[in-house]
Amino acid sequence: MSLTKYDYVIIGAGPAGMAAAVEACQYGLNVLVLDEQPTIGGQIYRNIEDLEEQRPGEFHQLGADYQEAFELAQRFHSSEAKYRPGRSIWQIDSDLTLYHIGQDGGPSETCHAPRILIATGAMERPMPFPGWTLPGVMACTAADVLYKSSGLLPRGEIVLLGSGPLLLLIACRLLDAGVKIAAYLDTNPHLAPFQALPYLPEALRGHDYLLKGIAMLWQMFTSGAKVHLGVTGIEAQGEAHLQKVQFQQGTATWKELTADLLLLHHGVVPNVQITRQLGCEHAWYEKQRYWEPVLDQWGNTSIENIAVAGDSGRVCGSANSVLTGRLAALETARALGKIDSSQQTALAVPLLKRQNQELAIRPFLDTLFPPRRPWLVPQNEETLICRCEEVSVREIRGAVRLGALSPDRVKPMIRCGMGPCQGRMCGLTASEIIADERQVSPVDVGYFRVRSPIKPITLGQLAGID
């Protein structure tokens, strides 16, 4: 397969990737957008065009931002950008050659551009506890994906567990669609609102988000679902399928609920697989306890000609993703000589102003909904951490005691992070447990060294590379 060449390759057709492509095309750049999903929209606006066309009632129920996103999708389609859905990037070389495969099992293809934008979004932070791998227990966004992509809604006794704006948003979306939620187990610490208080004055600049949050809380609390606050421990139980959950609030005695479906949420974290594979510099974001690539205001990483936009830089929502995508595209237009520095600055001023407004609420939200220790470092040592290789907390602690002091040492010893997801799911938890065992910060422990292939690829596909 020959190497196809572009000016700009964008990975991800979510809000950040689409906005970057539209902006870049305006300056005459030859743009390719690759995304592993079958349709544009990314996580938040998944399947947006089909929704608008085939399920208009549900589309309008999803909110005004969907209308704006639909307009962005139309601008994206009418731009000159070449879009290839269903393509997963599994490797990028240091000379900026990209390798991608399709779900059809066809041969791996390559392309090249002098500038690459990584707009691969975020992923849900795993929430491990005893029983979290039982059928009937899943991430709350998985239920949202089923709803947005196929209109599927859950039935039976539905219990939600976790905290954060996305859990509330998805809960309210289910309620709006007529789903009955039996119980809402809120894991947020009681002190968090007080800790977030100093950031409230600044957050008032984003009062639309605050009002939306209050409305969602009201809807949840008045929905008839049993709301349990300050949940600190949980176990999911059942034979072949979830049947009940037991939970604890503080040091109170354990309570029990029957459940057919348990939806989890412990916040979202940047998807850093590609920036890690490339060796970009990353920094620890303490408030949300995740690593993020180190970026300048244009999204440039520590590696020349590689930039990041959207939630794969820091989780700040779709409106900020659009702005960071546009800023990154302006930088590429300047770097490739399509605009000069003064034009770039003039074009960026209104975007930076809007970004400043958009980001005003983030320190408040990030402090209000902190990730919690019982799920960062599960206390029950039999809890599975690496689902692919079935590695438990006890095995990770045991490896550390035998002298494996970092994730990369633990990995070959017990295969943690060596399965098909290549540590994407267990990476953060593994670092937290190793740090806890050593009584140091995850910063001192580091993260898995991510190697290609970052997505599973067959030997046949590998052999097919020219």
Ligand X SMILES: Cc1cc2nc3c(=O)[nH]c(=O)nc-3n(C[C@H](O)[C@H](O)[C@H](O)COP(=O)(O)OP(=O)(O)OC[C@H]3O[C@@H](n4cnc5c(N)ncnc54)[C@H](O)[C@@H]3O)c2cc1C
Contact residues for ligand X (CB under 6 A)? 11-17, 34-37, 42-44, 88-89, 119-124, 141, 144, 166, 169, 268, 271, 310-312, 317-318, 321, 455
- On the CB side of 161, how many CA atoms lie within 13 Å of its CA? 28
CB of 324 to ligand X, least distance (A): 8
Rounded CA gap, 420 and 424, in Å?
Answer: 9
Rounded CA gap, 177 and 153, in Å?
Answer: 8
Strands 31-34 and 8-11: parallel
Strands 87-92 and 97-102: antiparallel
Provide the β-strand partners of residue 155: none
- Nearer to ligand X by Cβ, of 88 and 288: the residue is 88
CB of 310 to ligand X, least distance (A): 2
CB of 35 to ligand X, least distance (A): 5
Backbone φ and ψ for 412, nearest 5 degrees, come out as: -70, -20
- Nearer to ligand X by Cβ, of 225 and 316: the residue is 316
Helices 64-78 and 15-26 pack at an angle, to 10 degrees, of 40
User: What DSSP line would sit under 298-329, residue for residue?
Assistant: T-B-SSTTEEE-GGGTS---HHHHHHHHHHHH
- Nearer to ligand X by Cβ, of 203 and 435: the residue is 203
CB of 269 to ligand X, least distance (A): 9
CB of 121 to ligand X, least distance (A): 2
CB of 268 to ligand X, least distance (A): 5
- Nearer to ligand X by Cβ, of 220 and 414: the residue is 220
- Nearer to ligand X by Cβ, of 122 and 295: the residue is 122
In Å, how far are 44, 82, 169, 176, 210 from 217, measured between CA atoms? Answer: 20, 42, 9, 14, 11
In Å, how far are 132, 161, 236, 400, 436 from 245, measured between CA atoms? Answer: 10, 10, 5, 32, 27
- Nearer to ligand X by Cβ, of 17 and 442: the residue is 17
In 3D, which of 140, 120, 137 has the Cα closest to residue 129? 137
Rounded CA gap, 441 and 256, in Å?
Answer: 35
CB of 84 to ligand X, least distance (A): 9
CB of 16 to ligand X, least distance (A): 3
CB proximity list for 375: less than 8 A, separation 6 or greater? 127, 128, 129, 187, 266
CB of 19 to ligand X, least distance (A): 8
Planar angle of CA 120, 121, 124, nearest 5 degrees: 125
Q: Helix, strand or coil for residue 122? A: strand
Rounded CA gap, 255 and 265, in Å?
Answer: 20
- Nearer to ligand X by Cβ, of 328 and 396: the residue is 328
- Nearer to ligand X by Cβ, of 7 and 35: the residue is 35
- Nearer to ligand X by Cβ, of 123 and 234: the residue is 123
Would you state the structure tokens that stand for residue 250, as one six-digit string?
A: 């503080």
CB of 164 to ligand X, least distance (A): 10
- Nearer to ligand X by Cβ, of 144 and 437: the residue is 144
CB of 444 to ligand X, least distance (A): 28
CB of 90 to ligand X, least distance (A): 7
Q: How many CB atoms lie within 10 A of CB 30?
A: 16
In 3D, which of 124, 139, 149, 122 has the Cα closest to residue 37? 149
Backbone φ and ψ for 219, nearest 5 degrees, come out as: -60, -40
Contact 262, 241 (CB under 8 A): no
In Å, how far are 55, 290, 370 from 422, measured between CA atoms? Answer: 37, 17, 26
Backbone φ and ψ for 116, nearest 5 degrees, come out as: -125, 140
- Nearer to ligand X by Cβ, of 121 and 136: the residue is 121
- Nearer to ligand X by Cβ, of 316 and 404: the residue is 316
